[in-house]
Each structure stands twice: as structure tokens, then as C-alpha cells.
């Protein structure tokens, strides 16, 4: 059987799959509303050379992946409002952006025409971390997968961006730290843009077992996972208790 959509696609056209009408049979969807209790910190470095190292550490890219890295760095710079040539190499991108890097310091949020945002991958990572802590050693499902691997495969956060309701950060936080090196310990000061008590909303999809029509993650498990996530927080400096929030809505769609 071959099914082909003849719907024309443009950059502004939402992409709709030919099987999307079956989504309700495969997933339970929830809208999650979160109110931050204080500040959420931006964790995206603004200097191009630091961006490359940050992306390598976050995405596990090796030293021989410069072409892929250049593409991701360019997109990150675009999300920060910095235009770079589409065909530029990593070295050319960094060189062309040196002026911007000299003018911008610290860490901030990505942005687009709708304002500042965090990426949905941060929420997915938070859900996986919560499960790894709460259900370490547990085996889920018929195949007895580790709980963290199970939620990686069973749960999706819709879209790519979660907007913070701000056009610009509310302020900048200066974090004092101490690092150790060959010359001994030295103090460091790092700046983080922040948003004060924003409210966010996102949608998660959780898989339904086709054998019995039941969601594989129970209501009690969702409560525990989200309770942990709201205390663990989102954004940068979570170890300093930044980015904590309260779940104020969890509604099945």
C-alpha cells in the first residue's frame, strides 16, 4: 500500500503526517503547566568558541565531527540572533563571530521571533534523570527494559521549543566559583541571564500498550516523576537550586 500526500509544503506550513489521525490510539497526551518559583538561568554561552565546546559536551560529538558541529554551532548562533554564512566552516564561523563574542559575555537563552525559549530536549533529559533516580534498577514493560531506557523510548515532548514569555531576559546573575589548576585555586565570575518566575506550558506524549490499550506509565509514576523534576529544576545552575518550579496543571488532552 502506498499513500502519498499532495499537500504543498512551505517553510511556514505545519507538517502533518498521513498517519497522524492514529496518534490518539498510540499515545496519551498531557499538557503540563509549570510556574517557576524564582529564576530560571540561561545556559547557552554567547562566545562562538565556547559554544563549540558546550555543544561537544552536551551532544557527545567527537573531535572528527567538525562539519556536523559547524552546522549546529551556526544554528545556535542564529538562535542567539547572529547571522553566519550557510556554507562556512567551523573555523570561519568562529572567526566571523569574534566581534560578537567580544561584545557578549556569559550565558543566555536562545530566542526566535516569539521571544526567549528553552529546548524540549531539556525537559526530556529532566524526565530521564528523574526516572534514573526514582526507579534505578527497576525493569519496565514486557521486555524488562531499564526504567531510564524505557522512558526514553516511551515518552516524547512535542515540538522543539518552550517559550518563556519574555522578549529579553529580566536580568543577569553573577555566579562566583573556584577552580583548581596547576597554579592552585582561583576565583571565577560567570554571568547568567535569567527570567524571573516565568510560566511555561508543554505537551508530552506517553505510549499506549497496543495489547491492552493502557498507558505504560501509571498515574502514580507520573506524579513521582514530575515531583522530582520540579525540585531538580530546569535551565542552568540547577545545583544552586535555580530553575525550580511547581507543576500547576497536568491535564489529559
What number of helices (H) and strands (E) belong to the chain? 8, 14
pLDDT band at residue 7 using 50, 70 and 90 as cut-offs: very low
88 close to 98: Cβ distance less than 8 angstroms: no
For the residues 220-246, what does the mean pLDDT come to? 96
Separation between Cα atoms, residue 45 and residue 80, nearest integer Å: 10
pLDDT band at residue 61 using 50, 70 and 90 as cut-offs: low
- Give 100: exposed, middle or buried? Use CB within 10 Å, 0-12, 13-18, 19+: middle
Largest CA distance in the chain: 69
Question: Domain boundaries in the chain?
Answer: 26-44+107-252, 47-104
pLDDT band at residue 53 using 50, 70 and 90 as cut-offs: low
Measured CA to CA in angstroms, residue 174 lies from 190, 193, 204, 237 at distances of: 6, 9, 34, 11
pLDDT tens sequence across 73-117 = 677 667 666 666 676 676 766 665 555 554 556 789 999 999 999
| Residue 49 or 148, more confident | 148
Task: Cell numbers for 86, please give them.
Answer: 550557510
Separation between Cα atoms, residue 135 and residue 127, nearest integer Å: 12
pLDDT band at residue 160 using 50, 70 and 90 as cut-offs: very high
pLDDT band at residue 150 using 50, 70 and 90 as cut-offs: very high
pLDDT band at residue 15 using 50, 70 and 90 as cut-offs: confident
pLDDT over 90 (residue 4): no
pLDDT over 50 (residue 9): no
Separation between Cα atoms, residue 7 and residue 4, nearest integer Å: 9
pTM for this one?
A: 0.73
Task: Cell numbers for 52, please give them.
Answer: 563549540
78 close to 72: Cβ distance less than 8 angstroms: no
**Three-class DSSP category at 118:** strand
230 close to 36: Cβ distance less than 8 angstroms: no
Amino acid at each position: 500500500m502506498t499513500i502519498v500526500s499532495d499537500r504543498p509544503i512551505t517553510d511556514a506550513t505545519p507538517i502533518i503526517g498521513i498517519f497522524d489521525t492514529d496518534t490518539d490510539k498510540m499515545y496519551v497526551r498531557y499538557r503540563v503547566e509549570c510556574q517557576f518559583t524564582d529564576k530560571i538561568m540561561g545556559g547557552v554561552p554567547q562566545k562562538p568558541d565556547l559554544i563549540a565546546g558546550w555543544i561537544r559536551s552536551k551532544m557527545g560529538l567527537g573531535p572528527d565531527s567538525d562539519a556536523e558541529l559547524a552546522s549546529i554551532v551556526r544554528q545556535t548562533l542564529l538562535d542567539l540572533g547572529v547571522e553566519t554564512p550557510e556554507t562556512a566552516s567551523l573555523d570561519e564561523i568562529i572567526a566571523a563571530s569574534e566581534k560578537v563574542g567580544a561584545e557578549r559575555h556569559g550565558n543566555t537563552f536562545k530566542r526566535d521571533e516569539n521571544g526567549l525559549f528553552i529546548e524540549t530536549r531539556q525537559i526530556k533529559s529532566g524526565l530521564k534523570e528523574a526516572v534514573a533516580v526514582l526507579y534505578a534498577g527497576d525493569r519496565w514493560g514486557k521486555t524488562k527494559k531499564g526504567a531510564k531506557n524505557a522512558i526514553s523510548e516511551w515518552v516524547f515532548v512535542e515540538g522543539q521549543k518552550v517559550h518563556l514569555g519574555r522578549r529579553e531576559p529580566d536580568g543577569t546573575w553573577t555566579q562566583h566559583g573556584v577552580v583548581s589548576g596547576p597554579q592552585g585555586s582561583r576565583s571565577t565570575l560567570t554571568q547568567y541571564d535569567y527570567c524571573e518566575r516565568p510560566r511555561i506550558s508543554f505537551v508530552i506524549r506517553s505510549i499506549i500498550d497496543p495489547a491492552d490499550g493502557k498507558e505504560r506509565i501509571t498515574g502514580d509514576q507520573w506524579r513521582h516523576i514530575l515531583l522530582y523534576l520540579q525540585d531538580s529544576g530546569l535551565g542552568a545552575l540547577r545545583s544552586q537550586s535555580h530553575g525550580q518550579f511547581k507543576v500547576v496543571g497536568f491535564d489529559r488532552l
